């Protein structure tokens, strides 16, 4: 019976299944299981996992922590706005502030070392998009997200905001250096 008419057999749930359907459902289910196990597998054996470590934080306190880091480790300033370039020691806590419409400060990291990167926003939601690496993380106000990062290539990177945050959104771009 056609799909726009009631089923021919009243007890449709007892209708036998075609072989082709049964084989396909089995294949599809096995494939779904493979995808199912890939995520936990990558947590055990893979190296790219997002940390769930998060704290509630008041914007002022986060800003103070970032300021303290900048006061200690600023090596130079860049652009007319004199944005500090901060080179904190390997293994330390580094802070990155997102606000309308900039990231602050500019970080200078060492290749192969690990850092605890703290991300938070002072106002609206922002996006942390590291280019050309293409790592993308959501940044929320009121939360500090701590991710342990290990840069594996040296060079100059851009941090682009990829969450719409108002009229200056497309100018919200910053830099990050990785040195050998």
Partner 1 sequence: MATAQALFRTCPRTGLQFHKSAESLIKLNAVAAVVTLLVGGLLALLLVLTRWQAIHLIDADNFYLYLTAHGLDMLVAWIIFFEIAILYFCSSTLLRCRLATPRIAWLAFALMVIGTVTYNVAIFSGSATVMMTSYVPMPAHPAFYLGLILFAVGALIGCFVFLGTLVVAKAEKTYEGSIPLVTFGALTACIIAIFTIASGAIILIPTWLWSVGYIKHIDPAMYRVIWWAFGHSSQQINVSAHVAVWYAIAAIVFGARPMSERVSRTAFFLYICFLQLASAHHILADPAVGTEWKIFNTSYAMYLAVLASMIHGLTVPGAIEVAQREKGFTKGMFEWLRKAPWGNPVFSGMFISLLGFGFLGGISGVMMGTEQLNMIIHNTIYVPGHFHATVVLGTTLAFMAITYFLLPTLFNREMILPGWAKWQPYVFGIGMGVFTLAMMGAGTLGVPRRHWDITFAGASLPYEYPGTALLMLAICGISGVIAVIGGAMYIIITVGTLLFGKKLDAGAYTTSITPLRLPVQAALSGHGGHGGGFAAPGTFVLALVFLTAFVLYYFVNWKYLSTVWGLS
Chain residues 45-74 in contact with partner 1, contact rule CB under 8 A: 46-52, 54
Q: Is 24 a residue that touches partner 1 (CB under 8 A)?
A: yes
Q: How many residues in total does the chain contain?
A: 180
By CB under 8 A, the residues from 88 to 147 that bind partner 1 are: 106, 114, 119, 123-125, 127, 129-145, 147
> CA 122: distance to chain centroid?
18
Q: Shortest approach of partner 1 to residue 47 CB, angstroms?
A: 4
Contact with partner 1 (CB under 8 A): which of 59, 63, 74, 175? 175
Q: Quick check: bond before 132 cis, omega within 30?
A: yes
Going by C-alpha positions, the residue among 117, 92, 109 that lies closest to residue 152 is: 109
Query: Strand 155-160 relative to strand 173-179: parallel, antiparallel, unpaired?
Result: antiparallel
Q: Shortest approach of partner 1 to residue 107 CB, angstroms?
A: 13
> CA 76: distance to chain centroid?
27
Q: Is 13 a residue that touches partner 1 (CB under 8 A)?
A: yes
Q: Is 81 a residue that touches partner 1 (CB under 8 A)?
A: yes
């Amino acid at each position: 019976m056609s799909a726009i008419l009631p089923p021919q057999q009243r007890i449709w749930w007892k209708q036998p299944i075609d072989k082709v359907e049964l084989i396909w459902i089995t294949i599809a289910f096995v494939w779904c299981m493979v995808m199912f196990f890939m995520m936990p597998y990558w947590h055990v054996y893979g190296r790219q996992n997002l940390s769930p470590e998060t704290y509630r934080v008041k914007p002022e306190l986060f800003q103070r922590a970032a300021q303290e880091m900048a006061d200690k480790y600023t090596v130079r300033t860049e652009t007319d706005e004199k944005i500090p370039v901060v080179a904190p020691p390997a293994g330390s806590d580094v802070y990155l502030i997102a606000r309308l419409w900039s990231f602050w400060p500019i970080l200078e990291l060492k290749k192969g070392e690990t850092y605890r990167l703290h991300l938070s926003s002072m106002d609206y939601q922002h996006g942390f998009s590291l280019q050309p690496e293409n790592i993308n993380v959501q940044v929320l106000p009121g939360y500090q997200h701590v991710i342990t990062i290990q840069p594996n290539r040296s060079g100059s990177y851009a941090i682009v905001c990829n969450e719409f945050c108002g009229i200056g959104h497309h100018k919200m771009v910053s830099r990050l250096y990785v040195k050998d």
